Amino acid sequence: MKRNYMNKLRNTLIITCFISILFLVSCKTQKTIQTEQNQAKPIVVQPIETQASDSIINKMTKNQFNFEWLSVKFSADYEIDNNNTSFSGQIRIKKDSIIWISISKFSIEGARILITQDSIFVINRMDNNYFKSDFNYINRFINSTVDFDMLQAFIVGNDFKYYENDKFKSSFDGENFHLNTVNRHKLKKYIRNENDKLKILVQNIEIDSKNYKIKNLNVKEVKENNKLKISYSDFELISNQLFPKLLQISIISEKVIEIKIDYSKVNINEELNFPFKIPENYDRIMPK
């Protein structure tokens, strides 16, 4: 029974993690922008319905969440086939380098995960074992080709920085901007392998016309039927930047997966460590 629980927790973790973020945050603080009236707000340009897509993208880019180090706690609710589970933990990021995650249930750590640009390492404390793999392990769960850079962007609510921006068409619904593309490629200078060459994205990005932050993101790969939708809300000022405290994720593939992530205790630009010591008595297993 313990092994089944751990397998479910690990799989839940990996799916959440790569499909957009992997979880974050428990003590749900409801400090919204309105409660931060005394803090300086980001400077934005008021919307004009006729703005071109490149103008909208430039303003969205200027208002993205920037950091070198990020630490955040989380709580997550996960549902698949009417089965629900919840867990909490912590995530730490060194920008463009390391994503470190600790997963807990009932305040007891069950798993620890370390993700780099090309690898994933998992310590399973419930079964006293560990494994190593490349990104293909994660993508087998989600039947996709998500990479480190996309995951990092999912976590903080940013756009993908290594992709073309000239494929978008823009529209305005009276409140939000919409950027749409059916043919977004990775920039050639950032292509690292064959998967990057083959990956072509269909995207719809809904952007708040007041602060140019992403509110809703829909992503689909041209060759796959899988769809990912992420909604960002409850924005809070962190070091004079807007950060989404609530994420709602829907994954549609062979099954429908719903994930809700609440962030709390967000800290940036304080140098972090990433403890990941595998106990000597743990067995190495081969990922399936």
Backbone angles phi, psi at 8, to 5 degrees: -65, -45
Residue range 230-251, pLDDT digits in tens: 999 999 999 999 999 999 999 8
Q: How high is the mean pLDDT of the chain?
A: 81
For residues 281 and 222, give the distance between their C-alpha atoms in angstroms, rounded to a whole number. Answer: 45
The pTM of the full predicted model, rounded to 2 decimals, is: 0.79
Residue type, 1: M
Residue range 138-160, pLDDT digits in tens: 666 656 667 889 899 999 999 99
Q: Which residues of the chain have pLDDT under 50?
A: 1-2, 5-6, 12-41, 43-48
Residue linked to tokens 């924005």: 235
Neighbour-count burial for 201-217, b at 16+ CB within 10 Å, e otherwise: bbbbbbbbbebbbbbbb
Quote the pLDDT of residue 224.
66
Domains of the chain: 2-267 (2.50.20.10)
Quote the pLDDT of residue 188.
83
Query: Can you state the percent helix, strand and coil of the chain, rounding each to 5?
Result: 20, 45, 35
Residue 24, token pair as written in the block: 């974050």
Quote the pLDDT of residue 176.
96
